[in-house]
Chains A and B, each alone.
Chain A
Amino acid sequence: MSAQTAQWQDVAPLLQVRELSKFYAPGKGCGDIDFDLYPGEVLGIVGESGSGKSTLLNVLSARLAPDAGQVIYQSEQFGELDLYACDEAQRRVLMRSEWGIVHQHARDGLRMNVSAGANIGERLMAVGERHYGNIRERAQAWLEAVEIDSSRIDDRPSQFSGGMQQRLQIARNLVTHPQLIFMDEPTGGLDVSVQAKLLDMLRGLVAELGLSVIIVTHDLAVARLLAHRLMVMRRGQVVESGLTDQVLDDPQHPYTQLLVSSILQN
């Protein structure tokens, strides 16, 4: 892991977050957030519900304007971009090309009333693909990549199991080869065995495609499996951050210690 960390330091960060804050009410939201995310890095944001981690994810992924601070993103198309100072048009282009967003509830990230093929094909069509045969071929390939039988291409997501819906959501995001993925509790609400399969697949895809990921989870087991680095949040503040193993095996902050021990007790 340390060799990889060293390697990250040599390139420019993909995302630079500076003094970011967003509060709905005192104690509700997140504040004083500072970090860098490097290409190929998986950052886990952990904490209990209400700790502000989902608010933070929304602010990072350009879906919720912060009260203060900056998010600077190194875009393939636009170069260095200050997300909340740039044109909304650019943010929206990022959303459908360089970024992916995987929601906790698949129905928030999928079009439930159109087929799996159309769900995957939408981003291709959004970036100008107009050949039905090609769209279908790519959709089929991606279904297979996420281990869904390609004969289900014309089925609607509502006919899929929870785990399949989540995998479809991932395929829908990855079809345009994004470089940064935001995930909000991607395994929440799934059975343990289904979770394991999904995590395994995610880990494979992340490594294979060299994706950078920011993943929000309250499940430390998920964080340990996927994340290189962790940020622990409590009441809107980051109380501890570091390499995943370090944070989980040798927690410094009392709150992290409590989190880790409660996992052990379960």
Chain B
Amino acid sequence: MSEVATGYNFAYLDEQSKRMIRRALLKAVAIPGFQVPFGGREMPLPHGWGTGGMQVTASVIGQQDTLKVIDQGADDTTNAVSIRRFFARTAGVATTEETAAADLIQTRHRIPETPLRNGQILIYQVPTPEPLRFIEPRDSETIKMHALREYGAMQVKLYEDVARFGHIATSYDYPVMVNRRYMMSPSPIPKFDNPKMDRMPALQLFGAGFEKRIYAVPPYTQVTSLDFDDHPFEVQSWEESCAICAAQDSFLDEVITDDAGSRMFVCSDTDYCRQRVAQQEANP
């Protein structure tokens, strides 16, 4: 592990900036699913690489906290490594790969398979916080649409899917309604993970760095995925099971194993997979 960097404040950001972000977070928690504008700071990582999540993590992390960082469910992808190192260097906090041992989990594109508990915080990196963005490019308009709950246009997209394919064909970043009031982007997690958000005991915080928006889902809040009464929401399923731990209930990544295009499937959540293998070895 790299040594702790000198010359920077604890967790990089200055305390005023952190306070400003925490104020935005408090507002976000008070209005679940509402996007709170905040004075997003420039970070030493590029926009789109997790600067929003990092600012949130920097603002809520304490010296006693243990941090886990995942990207695509895995602890060892380059971007996860890079962000984990950043906090190890600038905050000197303990890090872990074990979901249950973490106080804070910063994630890109997945929710861990191991259920989270109350007291943990899940921090999502968000590229495009506005679920209506590809229906309406203007902020000045989407703000009104949220204020007035004008969500018909999003339903049009789902209608088109059903009319064309017989079912809803959005597979990730699948929009949700939070607490029956605000439409929210769950960030580009697979829709497989959407049900985990509903009434999750952990606090869920979302940070979008260059769009300068923060939003939140407080513990035990209702989160429902959009659908039709006669075409209810459903998640992906696999015929295969994980080639390493044989899990049938986790999100599987496809791995191409040779030039002939042979494939195998493994858990995208590396920690979950490892825990299962350890358990199997302990109780053969």
Contacts and interface: CB of A to CB of B under 8 A. Distances in A.
Which of B157, B163, B164, B229 has the most A CB atoms < 10 Å from its CB?
A: B163
A126 B152 contact: yes
Interface string B205-244: 0000000000000000000000011110000000000000
Given A118-B159, A132-B230, A154 B164 contact: yes
A71 B162 CA distance: 41
Contacts of B26: none
A90 to B, nearest CB: 10
Contacts of B230: 131-133
Nearest to A113: B160
A152 to B, nearest CB: 12
A93 interface: yes
Nearest to A122: B156
Interface residues of A, number: 24
Interface SS of chain A: helix
Interface string A73-91: 0000000000000001100
A242 B152 CA distance: 41
A148 B104 CA distance: 57
Interface stretch (B4-12, B142-150, B257-265, B269-277): B142-150
Given A118-B160, A130-B228, A154-B164, A123 B147 contact: no
The bracket for how many chain B residues form the interface is 10 to 19
Given A130-B228, A131-B229, A133-B230, A154 B163 contact: yes
Contacts of A111: 156
Contact of A125 (B144, B155, B231): B155
B153 interface: yes
Contact of A123 (B148, B152, B160, B162): B152
B233 to A, nearest CB: 12
B138 to A, nearest CB: 15
A63 interface: no
Contacts of B160: 114-115, 118
A115 B153 CA distance: 13
Interface of B: 144, 147-148, 150-153, 155-157, 159-160, 162-164, 228-231
Given A126-B155, A131-B229, 12 more contacts: A88-B144, A114-B156, A115-B163, A117-B163, A118-B160, A121-B159, A122-B152, A125-B152, A125-B155, A131-B230, A132-B229, A132-B230
